[in-house]
Amino acid sequence: RLQASVYNAEPVPTRGRITFTVAAHSGGEDVVTTRSAHDWGPGSTLVEAEVEIKGHHLWSLDDPFLYRVTAQLTAPDGTAGDAYSTRCGFRDFRFKNGAFRLNGQRIYLKGSHSCNHFPVGLQVPDGPSLARRDILYAKMSGFNCIRFIAGMPTRNQLDLCDELGLLVYEENYASWCLADSPNMAERY
């Protein structure tokens, strides 16, 4: 299932087409494409589509296969408009018979953690290589999972984990460092 939010900044409705394309992230031919025409009213319109990817390739720790999903707008005269792409992978997580399974295979989580703090800049490192290095070191050390504690990972860090084949245990900063209280839900 795909969704895109299309924003028409004009005060009047306009007509156009949206095309959703799914392809291997690393390049290659499109796997599936779907197109539909729409009338875009002023403001935001949520567009939904369903596609079937037959024989999809599963993301795994040793083969972190990713797909690229692109939404492309086209004007009635055929002029290409805005486009947005994002990546995704297909994987199956479940607990069965007391064991964690990824894509049906039992795995043992070997995790490291990062406070996601850096010597210079604290939350924002002085260069992108410093944030990448932590994640690369975790993968090279044989870990298959990384925990970002008391702080959120950046989009770039999550993308790198997807590319390298690292599972992520992400926790919201509000999930701890708060004393228990009857007001917990409100404070959270």
The residue among 77 and 121 whose pLDDT is bigger is: 77
> Strands of 145-148's sheet, edge to edge?
111-114, 145-148, 167-170
The answer on pLDDT for 173 being more than 70 is no
The answer to whether the beta carbons of residues 6 and 73 sit under 8 Å apart is yes
- CA quadruple 32, 38, 41, 45: dihedral sign: negative
42-51, 79-88, 164-173: segment of lowest average pLDDT:
164-173
41-45, 58-62, 169-173: segment of lowest average pLDDT:
169-173
The residue among 141 and 183 whose pLDDT is bigger is: 141
pLDDT for 22: 94
The answer on pLDDT for 108 being more than 90 is yes
Question: Token pair of 93, please?
Answer: 């997580």
Q: What is d(CA 147, CA 144) in angstroms, rounded to the nearest whole number?
A: 10
pLDDT for 133: 84
